[in-house]
Structure 1
Amino acid sequence: MTAHPSSPDTAPRASLPVHALRPEDIESFLGGLDEPAASYLRMKEFSAKAASVVLLPGQSGISLAVLGLGDHPDPSTFGDLPKQLPSSADWTLLPGHYDPGEAYLGITLGAYRFDRFRKPAAKLPRILVQNAPDRAKHLAEAVCFTRDLVNTPANHLGPKELADAGEALAARHGARSRRIGGAELASGYPALNAVGAGSERKPEILQFSWGENPALPLISLCGKGVCFDSGGYDLKPSSAMLRMKKDMGGAAIALGVAQAIMALDLPVRLEVRIGCVENSVSGHAMRPLDVLHTRAGLTVEVGNTDAEGRLVLADLLTDAAGAKPDWLIDFATLTGAARVALGPELPALFANDDRLADALIASGTALHDPLWRLPLWHGYESWLDSKIADMNSVASKPFSGAIVAALFLQRFVPAGTAWAHIDTYAWNDTTTPGKPEGGEAQSLIATVGAIEYLSSISVSERS
């Protein structure tokens, strides 16, 4: 499904060099070229603008390439190299004033293609990044794994197949997994079960745990895995269903974060729960104004059957909180309101703990995987009031949908549990350097970086 450049430990065939230059490097570099090559580069008016590429001719065709780094290179600076370099040669990105890990990520993620159902449109060049760390390789593999899941059509990735993918991931890393369905799901996770009841493809929960040292911090991840969302009886218009195969993006990101944590062998304990369901319309589907029970014992009036993701997460969060994790983080393509507020590229972060929120924000900023924190504004709590149940699933007002959804989820997180909720789009609407159109692992790298930070500090500093 994915296409990658050469990994750091794969020796290329005879390759051509790629020189990565900042503006201040140009004159020195020109001084090392023969006069025809230097004249050619001057004629091209190469200024080392970020992501710009010039191929220099030689006696046998192309002799080398130069890549502009601009003043502040990041992974996107390298993201178009797989498109810009001819595939007829192998290439080696030489050391320069850039982070080789960021270069590897940018190149690998820019080379990504989802080709499971078609022949690759074009051959991609092999690009070796010298001195690229293994960490970058593991992060790139986790992002590509997540993208593959989100891009897979719903007829090929239903609840069972999503649970299969998580179970296989757990097995690869020696994690202990279990699947919950049928009567156990109906009685123990009634809200999640109600969401999936309308589909012939039965709902499941996949749980797995990794790491056993009780002295290490416990990280718990939960993901919304709605493999297709019709909206239920509050049916979406056809235009709004066009990307609903990605409504399991939260589960895919949770699995991708877990893959990176396990591959990096971070000193943490890990628990993962994904709720794998399909929100369909049938005689068995939940209806508007139904009252549902939840694992926490609270009752919920269904204000809108298209607000199903919060019901899935409610039961997962209740379950996860029972183990008293140091950090509890959930991922979900939860609300259109978050996209209205922040657009498609910036996931919304909600948290009841400032240290957890600060760690995620700082990591996202440093690692070019940004998040933006929105408030858990308690003044809107009453908007979830119901006259016949403990709460409604949606607000009584048409405002602040992302905040209200987060407030709903917070009711299922016990006081004292450090919790973060990430409302993500999990998709690229257009292709930009390093980010092809399609499924995206938004917040994955930021979350892994924050967990790396937590794992590096002492117990006293965590408290």
Structure 2
Amino acid sequence: MNVVETQDCLVMAQDVAGQDVGVVHAIRPDGCAGLAALVGETAARFATRSGFVARYGQVQLLPDAGGGITTALLGLGEEGEGEEADPFVFGALPDSLPAGLWRVSTPADIDGADVALGFCLGAYRMPGFGRDTPPAPARSRLVVDATEHDAAQMAQCVNLARSLINTPPNLMGPDDLAAAATQALEPLGVQVSVIRAEWLERDFPTIFHVGAGSDRAPCVVEARWQGSTATEDAPLVSLAGKGVCFDTGGYDIKPASSMLRMKKDMGGAAIMLALARLIVLRDLPVRLELRLGCVENSVSGHAMRPSDVVRTRAGLTVEIGNTDAEGRLVLCDLLHAACEHQPDLLVDAATLTGAARVALGPDVPALFTNSDEAGTAFVAAGHACGDPLWRLPLWPGYRKWLNSPVADLNNISSKPMAGAITAALFLENFVSADVRWVHIDTYGWNDSSRPGRPEGGESLGLRATYAAILTIFNIEDRMHR
């Protein structure tokens, strides 16, 4: 599978000089009163009689005198209906517009890069995976200027994460995920290595233990890169991702209904890989490290058992209270390995707990951090770019809930409450106190299709993390969308 999909949904304005270009007027409901000034009396009456009220994502095509379609309307919805910056609404356009070239006219407070990003996200097609008739690409293309065209890089990386998460689990095992990471990064000059077998058992023992039950052996991807303008003392950004390619729950097996979406349990790794690719494509002035724990949690005679005790890379021992709490075991060794290099910022992402979804729902990942500065930067960045995060506390009073009578820690809490918090507290044991750390408990999925957000894999937290990195390290980037 080609994991890096190219997109041709954008076209530069200078490349289509003299060609016919349709126009989409994006308006809010209070702008409907002035429709005639935008499109003329006849077209305005047609739109009104057709029921156009500028509802969020509503698209209305307007025929011209010759019966052609060269004008359309897009509803932006009421103020506050979307995020402060909402690129997704423009994702309604690719499947609604006739074939051809289009430009979008928006209110002055909307960034053209958001329009381009949303259009590209709406043009995403899930890979065909061998279907006789693969999904047809969008027929319409958006005319943009040079700055707006840079949004295609962001869209490419978002869609990379989506496609990896959407891949059926028989086609996306640990080796496949490692190969995808290599394919996405090595051509860009990133040094990528894959750790397997006895070296994995020695250096990442908990990942090895989680993967022992599967015929598809676990591995760890390690990648390193330095920006072209980054000095040897440039900020070190370290990323870690949970890459559980399929999660049965192990001996604490999931019910069938809960297992249906477990191909997405490698969503954290997909998101961190896509973020790493974006950082490299944008050539940020940083040093970058990426670690992905690629593993399958299966049931067999070799699988880990409840009440096993395993020694981690950090030397701490962990009692396995539940084999379905394997994600934190995958991350703990990755985090400890990252801290050995003293990063200036350590970020991990994982589809870690159902408790985070109960608390915040599918659209808002939970954020935990040992740094108030980082927490503020991440939450603000997510709000500003329409990729929201919500901070939950690393509440110290719950640490004792992870006590074990036979090991340093249990991998699950003794209480049936605060599951997302106790999972984060478990991870905190493997992070150096002097390392600025952010943990993102994400869903990695859209339960249903909405403009710009098709049902399936999603990169929740990617754009917010990228924007926060720019803020924290005071990096100027005109391509931040």
User: Is TM-score (shorter-chain normalized) higher than 0.5?
Assistant: yes
**Any unmatched runs of 5+ in structure 2?**
80-84, 477-481
Question: Is 1:92 paired with 2:99?
Answer: no
Equivalent residue number for residue 159 of structure 2 = 144
Query: Hey, what does 1:461 align to over in structure 2?
Result: none
The residue number in structure 1 matching 2:93 is 81
Q: Classify the secondary structure of the residue corresponding to 1:261.
A: helix
- Rounded to whole Å, the distance in 2 between the matches of 1:141 and 1:193 is 32
Match of 1:62 in 2: 69
* Residue among 177, 196, 199 paired with 2:214: 199
Contact 1:94 1:130 in 2 (8 A): no
C-alpha distance in structure 2 between counterparts of 1:209 and 1:167, whole Å: 12
Give me the whole-angstrom Cα distance separating, in 2, the residues matched to 1:54 and 1:398.
Answer: 50
Q: What one-letter code is carried by the residue in structure 1 that aligns with 2:383? A: T
Q: What is the deviation of 1:177? A: 1.4
Change (3 A) 1:427 1:383: same
Partner of 1:113: 125
Q: Residue 27 of structure 2 contacts residue 106 of structure 2 at CA under 8 Å; is this kept in 1?
A: no
Q: Could you tell me which of 288, 301, 320 is aligned with 1:270?
A: 288
Shift of 1:71: 5.4
Match in the other structure for 1:40: 46
1:16 to 1, 13, 22: 22
Listed one character per residue, the Cα deviations across residues 358-413 of structure 1 (whole Å, up to 9, x for unaligned) are 11100000000001111111111111111111111111111111111100000000
Say whether the 8 Å CA contact 1:266–1:455 is kept in structure 2.
Answer: no
Q: Distance in 2 between matches of 1:411 and 1:445?
A: 27
Structure 2 counterpart of 1:374: 392
Partner AA of 1:191 in structure 2:
T
CA drift of 1:116 comes to 2.5
- Cα–Cα, structure 1 residues 202 and 151, in superposed 2: closer, same or farther, change >3 Å? same
Asked whether the equivalents of residues 350 and 357 of structure 1 are also in contact (C-alpha less than 8 Å), the reply is: yes
Between 1:28-37 and 1:290-299, the stretch displaced more is 28-37
Taking only aligned residues, the RMSD between alpha carbons, in angstroms, comes to 2.1
CA distance in structure 2 between the partners assigned to 1:186 and 1:229 by the alignment: 20
Equivalent positions of 1:13-412 (< 5 A) are 14-23=20-29, 30-31=36-37, 33-44=39-50, 46-58=52-64, 59-70=66-77, 72=79, 74-87=86-99, 89-94=100-105, 96-97=107-108, 98-117=110-129, 118=131, 119-131=133-145, 133-211=148-226, 213-412=231-430
SS in 1 for 2:268: helix
Please say if residues 244 and 266 of structure 2, whose CA atoms lie closer than 8 Å, have aligned partners that are also in contact: yes
Structure 2 distance, partners of 1:27, 1:354, is 46
For residues 255-274 of structure 1, what are the alpha-carbon distances to aligned partners after superposition, in whole Å with 9 as ceiling and x for unaligned? 01111111111111110000
Q: Judge conservation of contact 2:9–2:123 (CA < 8 Å) in 1.
A: no
Partner of 1:430: 448
Q: Deviations over 1:104-163 (max 9, x none)?
A: 111111121113323244552322142352442211111000000000011101000100
Whole-angstrom distance in 2 between the partners of 1:115 and 1:3? 12
Does the 8 Å CA contact 2:9/2:138 hold for their aligned counterparts? no
Secondary structure of 1:155's aligned partner? helix
**1:237-278 Cα distance to aligned partner (Å, 9 max, x none):** 111110011100000010011111111111111100000001
Instruction: State the TM-score, normalized to the length of structure 2.
Output: 0.90
Cα pair distance change 1:125/1:401, threshold 3 Å: same
Moved more, 2-11 or 359-368: 2-11
For residues 312 and 216 of structure 1, the distance between their equivalents in structure 2, rounded to whole angstroms, comes to: 28
How far apart in 1 are the matches of 2:328 and 2:388?
Answer: 23
Shift of 1:210: 0.9
Q: CA deviation at 1:82?
A: 1.7
Deviation for aligned residue 1:172: 2.1
List per-residue Cα deviations over 1:19-41 (Å, max 9, x = no partner): 22345655665236554334434
User: CA 1:3–1:163 in structure 2 vs 1: closer, same or farther (change >3 Å)?
Assistant: closer
**131-140 or 351-360, larger mean C-alpha shift:** 131-140
The answer to whether the 8 A contact 2:169-2:246 is kept is: yes
- Checking the alignment, whether the CA contact within 8 Å between 1:135 and 1:264 is kept in structure 2 is no
The percentage of counterpart residues that share the same residue type is 51
For the Cα contact (< 8 Å) 2:10–2:149, is it kept in 1? no
In the TM superposition, residue 90 of structure 1 has moved relative to its aligned partner by 3.4
